Chains A and B, each alone.
Chain A
Amino acid sequence: MGMDSDLFCEGLVRRFGSHAAVDHIALDVPAGTFFSILGPSGCGKTTLLRLLAGFDKPDEGDIHIRGRRMNDVPPNRRPVNMVFQHLALFPTMSVGDNIGYGLKRRKVPVAERRKRVARVLEQVGLPGLENRDPQALSGGQRQRVALARCLVLEPTLLLLDEPLGALDLKLREQMKVELKHLQKQFGTTFVYITHDQSEAMVMSDQVAVMRDGRFNQVAPPEQLYREPATPFVAGFVGDNNRLRGELVSIKDNLAEMRLDDGCLVQGRVASEALQAGQRAELFIRPESLVFPGSAPASGFSSMQANVRTTLFDGANSRVEAENGGQPVYARLPQDGSAPRLAIDSTIQLAWDPVLARVFGADNP
């Protein structure tokens, strides 16, 4: 960890005019990690990646790769390679020449080059395609060529700029899994940026959630999901219900709040310095909401809601309801345990307070 990590950054700042696209970012990525940077478009993640690749220079802060300071090293001398969003395969070269391009720059002899190109093509599952034209390949195959072109150089760090964005849904799901396997197989450290939380969750060892040039939280996917550190993370990662109200009291790490429709509910305290009487937000996931029937289990919080509609989507089926003017979604289990819900009927939704998180509302 620290300076010896594959990637270590401190106080990284990049300004465009008065706007800081990257605002005091610190990063520590140990070797062999699949590290994702997740954020909405315009949050500065592409700028950050370009700083790491060397296409842009930070205004403040340092970038260290395996302990070597990289700030003044040009992109062609960094032990870093990048898979571009639109892949940027050289259209005037064959697949083999694309992959051999970097080796040629390193003056690897022809025979050796050919051997290594063949080997890496085999590793990414495209044996024998050296002489094909990149344009003649399918989207998934091109993806793998772009990966092979970088991996053949055995970089310390592989940067990936939303490379799955252009693929159709089915192929994207497949490539997600494959990318993770390839990362484990090669053991290369991946820094992957995306706005798709599912990509980040499925593939990553660590995810940094980025917003307005800053990291909100850096954690493994599961922790990000279960214990979001900020309201933004709670709302951005996974589906979540946001219920607004006023904080009544705090006891044993449990906050009691009165929702805007008058229900008194409980949830775990998620931010410090919460005070009774202040506005607060309670986040509860759709799958944590249950239909208690007549009497909720002891210790559960519950509220009333009006059914708006039911959305059937197999295992992801949900009911859309409304509480005090705010939409609430609850998962509808498809194992027969869910009640039949009539539109406009009033239902009870209950949850274990341990699964809900309460933030101060004026907390950014």
Chain B
Amino acid sequence: MKPAANRLSLWLLLTPFLLWIVLLVLLPHLQMLRVSLQVRESWDTLEWGLQQYQNFFTESYYWRTFLRTGAMSLFTTFLTLIIAFPIAWYIARLARGRSKSVLFLACLIPFWASELVRTYGWMILLRESGLFSSWLQALGWVDGPVEMLYNDVAVIIGLVYNALLFMVVPLVTTLDGMDENLVEAGYDLGGGHGTVLREIVVPWAMPGIVSGCIVVFMLTLGSYLTPVLMGGKDSAWFTQQIFTQFITRFNWEQGAALGVLLLVLSSVIVWLGLKVSGQSLRKVMG
């Protein structure tokens, strides 16, 4: 092919991607940044200012929810990793042939239902008149109905459940590529189970762990339905506040500021995570 034709086909291939980035990612965020920096003086005058950001730091309700959301998302990510690792290990290293694909499918099946339905599924199990409550009563372990919904534990259960697949897939991919002999060499040279896991398996799986953690963390931080439906009055999620500002209060300026802050928070935490684990984004994302 001639260089000119080559360049043309490259541009043609890139166009949908560029449209996607510019129209759906870049422009809305720039617009949101602009809105967040405008202060409404009266119903028809706007001034540039940092009023909305100032509100965030002076209103303890805002930044407390913000920190809580960040901390709970980190905890959810960690918990998902702990649960997903043995599953991924089993699928990648121990399962063979048919059972491997069946197990993989089993992780995927919940995603055929929408997030809303999945969350309602948990509510059926956990609510006061739900399955778990009636089982506990039938077994005689509790006297009356037990409410397991509307608290932080319920929120975390729902979030972990929703995020599990996104942790399992990158882990299976990295563990699949690991030479079986590395583990054997680890034992052969005198290592115990803990040592082999810590010194050989985890360092090898690090790119998968980090990429899984990034995806799960972002997903959790930005989730809306699960915390709203399963959380109690005290377990407000930061996305709820953004929703409230935009839709209920019709205060777009404040909502935009909160949105920008959420973006900054997730970026900072992902960057910190990469620094701490000694990985680079290029290595992690393939």
- A residues sitting closer than 8 Å to B (CB atoms) are 53-55, 74-77, 80-82, 84-86, 88, 90-93, 101-102, 105-106, 149-150, 153
Contact = CB atoms under 8 A, between A and B. Distances in A.
Contacts of A55: 184, 187-188
Q: How large is the interface on B (under 10, 10 to 19, 20 to 34, 35 or more residues)?
A: 10 to 19
B234 interface: no
A91 B192 contact: no
B181 A88 contact: yes
Contacts of A150: 189
Contacts of A153: 189-190
Contacts of B182: 88, 90-91
Given A88-B182, A90-B182, A92-B203, A82 B191 contact: no
B190 A86 contact: no
A101 B189 contact: yes
Interface in B188-204: 188-192, 195, 199-200, 203-204
B184 A75 contact: yes
A81 B188 contact: yes
Nearest to B204: A92
Q: Which of A53, A102, A106, A150 has the most CB of B within 10 A?
A: A102
B190 A88 contact: no
B117 interface: no
A102 B192 CA distance: 11
Contacts of B190: 76-77, 102, 105-106, 153
Nearest to A106: B190
A31 B179 CA distance: 32
7 contacts: A53-B184, A86-B181, A88-B184, A90-B186, A90-B199, A91-B182, A92-B200
Contacts, number: 64
A90 to B, nearest CB: 6
A219 to B, nearest CB: 29
A122 to B, nearest CB: 20
B185 interface: yes
B192 A90 contact: no
Nearest to B196: A76
A82 B188 contact: yes
Contacts of B181: 84-86, 88
B42 to A, nearest CB: 61
Contacts of A84: 181, 184-185
Contacts of A105: 189-192, 195
Contacts of A75: 184, 187-188
Q: 9 tightest CB-CB pairs across the interface, nearest first?
A: A105-B190, A88-B181, A92-B203, A102-B189, A88-B185, A84-B181, A76-B187, A75-B187, A82-B188
A79 B172 CA distance: 34
Interface in B110-144: none
Given A84-B185, A92-B204, A76 B179 contact: no
Contacts of A74: 187
Contacts of A88: 179, 181-182, 184-185
Nearest to A90: B200
Contact of B204 (A53, A77, A86, A91): A91
Nearest to B200: A90
Nearest to A53: B188
Contacts of B179: 86, 88
Q: Which of B179, B188, B190 has the most CB of A within 10 A?
A: B188
Q: Which of A76, A86, A91 has the most CB of B within 10 A?
A: A76
Contacts of B204: 91-92
Given A55-B187, A105-B190, A149-B189, 5 more contacts: A74-B187, A88-B179, A90-B203, A105-B191, A153-B189
